[in-house]
Amino acid sequence: MRTTKEVVMNTTTNTTTKQSYYDTLRTLSQASVDQHFQAFKDIAWDDPEFHLDPNDERFILTDADEIGRHEWYKSLSTERQIQIGVYRYAQIAKVGRQFEQVLIAGVMHHLILAKDGNPEFRYAMHEVTEETHHIQMFQESVNRFVENSGVDGVAGAPGWFAWLAPLVTSAGTWFPEIFFVGILGGEEPIDHLQKSILRAGGSHPLIDRVMQIHIAEEARHIGFAHQYLEHHWQRMNPVKRRVLTYLFPVVMRLLCDVIMVPSKQAREDMGIPKDVAQEIWWKSEESEKLLRDLFSDVRLLADNLGIRKGPAKLVWRALGIDGRAARFRAQPSSAAI
């Protein structure tokens, strides 16, 4: 039985932690007011520099993209490399648009039960507003790729993802913690990929501008998801905590594939041979390392929650996403087995 002193100390600690969390949310909200972007105001779509020429060699994929670094791609003619590069960038944008549509829907399900005075509501609405502009700029990019390249369209996420979207978004209401894990499962890999492309020198000016905006605002979104899970973890009932301990890496791995691995239709459209696709996505030493590197920040979060240990750690290993945790968020990392 706890003493009165222990109860008071625990209550004070919880109050302080809650206040700190709410202060962080208010800081994030103010940052969204002070620095935000609009899809059709902050991108000069009709600037000649942003014109999408399907013969532009800047569409050739670099080693920052897992397709671009493969010897199969490097062996292709310049013309074919450009064609695949054009499709690849459009495909990434379309999947990003679809993922963020699901994110918005899930957040709105979550907020329907928000209590008055909860600063989570305000910041989450800032995030939804920003994601709406991301969807607009992603789809406008896809439209211009299609218009200028002459293709009929671009394949997006796998069909199962679209069919399961209603169930996934409803989790925002009945199991919001797992939904926020899903947010990280999609946002961390795309953030890693876009930063790698820009660090390697970038691509076409329009693509670079879209990625710059996305990276700038996703930093807040990813930060919110980390803060949300750390704050709510101890407030979950033991059954939910146990379930999420094992589902955490599973959700991460599934959504990583949605973001990073082109659908079967997209692979066929780009002409990627099956054996090459297997090497590129997680069946070669280099690709296995990339998969681990994508989740160094997430491993830090899992360790902070105390859930990457014991039998649960075996799930991380089996899914190929275990390794060293980042020392701090957004640390450029090289995960080891």
151 pLDDT tier (thresholds 50, 70, 90)? confident
Long-range contacts of 291-294 (CB under 8 A, 24+ apart): 291/256, 291/320, 291/321, 292/320, 292/321, 292/322, 292/323, 292/335, 292/336, 292/337, 293/192, 293/323, 293/333, 293/334, 293/335, 294/188, 294/189, 294/192, 294/256, 294/260, 294/321
Q: What is the mean pLDDT of the chain?
A: 91
Query: Pick the residue with more confidence: 211 or 6?
Result: 211
Say what the pLDDT of residue 11 is: 34
91 contacts 193 by C-beta, under 8 angstroms: no
With a cut of 50, say whether residue 337 has pLDDT above it.
Answer: no
Average of pLDDT values for 239-261?
96
Q: Which residue has the tokens 């946002």?
A: 187
Instruction: Find tokens 């490097």 and name the residue.
Output: 74
Q: Which of 14-28, 192-206, 275-289 has the lowest mean pLDDT?
A: 14-28
pLDDT for 328 equals 66
**DSSP letters of 91-127?**
HHHHHHHHHHHHHHHHHHHHHTTPPTT-HHHHHHHHH
**DSSP assignment letter at 146:** H
Compute the distance between CA of residue 106 and CA of residue 255 in angstroms, rounded to an integer. 15
Contact 134, 298 (CB under 8 A): no
Residues 4, 25: Cα–Cα separation, whole Å: 32
Rounded to whole angstroms, the Cα distance separating 90 from 88 reads: 5
Highest mean pLDDT among 160-164, 269-273, 290-294: 269-273
5-17 pLDDT, tens per residue? 333 334 334 555 8
pLDDT score of 103: 96
pTM for this predicted structure = 0.90
69-120 per-position pLDDT tens digit: 999 999 999 999 999 999 999 999 999 999 999 999 999 999 999 999 999 9
Please give, one letter per residue, the 3-state secondary structure of 283-300. CCHHHHHHHHHCCHHHHH
**Residue-range domains of the chain with CATH:** 37-318 (1.10.620)
Percent of the chain with pLDDT over 70: 92
Q: What is the pLDDT of residues 266-281, one digit of tens each?
A: 999 999 999 999 999 9
Please enumerate in sequence order all residues whose Cβ is within 8 A of that of 109, keeping only pairs 6 or more positions apart, or say none. Answer: 169, 170, 171, 172, 173
Closest CA to 197 of 61, 334, 44: 61
Task: Using the predicted structure, report yes or no on whether residue 23 has a pLDDT greater than 50.
Answer: yes
Question: CA-to-CA distance for 92 and 189, rounded, in angstroms?
Answer: 11
Rounded Cα distance, 50 and 209, in Å = 9
196-203 — which CB contacts under 8 Å span 24+ positions?
196/64, 196/65, 197/62, 197/64, 197/65, 199/64, 200/62, 200/63, 200/64, 201/62, 203/58, 203/59, 203/62, 203/85, 203/89
Listed residue (29, 188, 178) closest to 99, CA to CA: 188
Instruction: Please tell me the predicted confidence (pLDDT) of residue 27.
Output: 96
CA distance 166 to 20: 34
Phi-psi label, residue 5: left if phi above 0, alpha if psi -120 to 50, beta otherwise: alpha
pLDDT-based confidence at 331, cuts 50/70/90? low
Q: What is the pLDDT of residues 35-62, one digit of tens each?
A: 999 999 999 999 999 999 999 999 999 9
- Which whole-number Å values give the CA distances from 37 to 26, 40, 70, 75, 136, in the listed order? 19, 9, 35, 39, 11
Tell me what percent of the residues of the chain surpass a pLDDT of 90.
88
